Amino acid sequence: MNKHIVRSLFQDALYQVFDNLGFRILGVLFLLPVLLTFLVGFREDGMWIAHYWHWSYESLLASLSSGASGDPALFNGIRDRLLDQMIAVIVDWIADKAGFVFGIAAISFFVPQMLEKGAADVVFSKPVSRLALFLSRYIAGLIFVGVLSSLLVGGMFLGFFVTSGYRDTGLLWSILTLIYGFAIFHAISCTIGVFTKSTIGAILLTVIFMPVNCGLHKSWELIAVSRHVAAEERERKPDLPAKEPPGMLLSALNTALTAYHVIAPKSRDATRIAQGLRRDIEDFTPEFADEDLGLSVAEPPAGFAREPRSSFNKDGLVWIAAHPDGGGEARWTLKRDALSALGSRTAYVKRLKKELAVDSTRADISRRYTDRFEWKEKRGDEERLRRKWVFQIGDTVLTLDYDAESAWGARDESEHSAQVFLAGVQIKDELERQAQEASYDRYFAWSGPWQFNAWFSVGTTLMFVLAMLGLGWWKLSRTDF
- B/e letters for 221-233, b = 16+ CB within 10 Å, e = fewer, are bebbbeebeeeee
The residue-averaged pLDDT of 337-341 equals 81
Closest CA to 103 of 177, 195, 154, 27: 27
pLDDT digits (tens, 9 = 90+) for 149-208: 888 888 888 988 888 887 777 778 778 888 888 889 889 988 998 888 888 888 888 889
- Residue 15 pLDDT > 90, yes or no? no
Name the CATH superfamily housing domain 289-433.
Answer: Mog1/PsbP, alpha/beta/alpha sandwich (3.40.1000.10)
- Output the 3-class SS for 223-264: HHHHHHHHHHHHHHCCCCCCCCCCCHHHHHHHHHHHHHHHHC
41 forms beta bridges with 48
pLDDT digits (tens, 9 = 90+) for 102-144: 667 776 766 776 666 545 444 555 566 778 888 888 888 888 8
- Residue-level pLDDT at 259: 93
> C-alpha angle 27/32/38, rounded to 5°?
125
82 forms beta bridges with none
Alpha-carbon gap, residue 192 to 198, rounded angstroms = 8
- Residue 69 pLDDT > 50, yes or no? no
Contact predicate 167/160, CB 8 Å: yes
- Residue 94 pLDDT > 70, yes or no? no
The residue-averaged pLDDT of 82-106 equals 69
Higher pLDDT, 20 or 401: 401
Alpha-carbon gap, residue 46 to 58, rounded angstroms = 8
Closest CA to 188 of 293, 107, 304, 307: 107
Sign of CA dihedral 95, 96, 100, 101: negative
**Residue 465 CB partners (closer than 8 Å, separation 6+):** 183, 184, 187, 265
Contact predicate 385/402, CB 8 Å: yes
Q: Which range is most confident: 81-85, 268-272, 389-393?
A: 389-393
Q: Tell me which of 50-59, 114-123, 324-333 is least confident.
A: 114-123
- Residue 262 pLDDT > 90, yes or no? yes
How far lies 161's CA from each of 40, 43, 165, 365, 465, in Å? 12, 10, 4, 28, 36
Average pLDDT, the chain: 80
- Residue 2 pLDDT > 80, yes or no? no
- Residue-level pLDDT at 66: 46
Higher pLDDT, 270 or 281: 270
Alpha-carbon gap, residue 154 to 172, rounded angstroms = 7
Alpha-carbon gap, residue 267 to 270, rounded angstroms = 6
264 confidence band (pLDDT: 50, 70, 90): very high
Sequence ranges of the domains in the chain:
3-280+456-477, 289-433
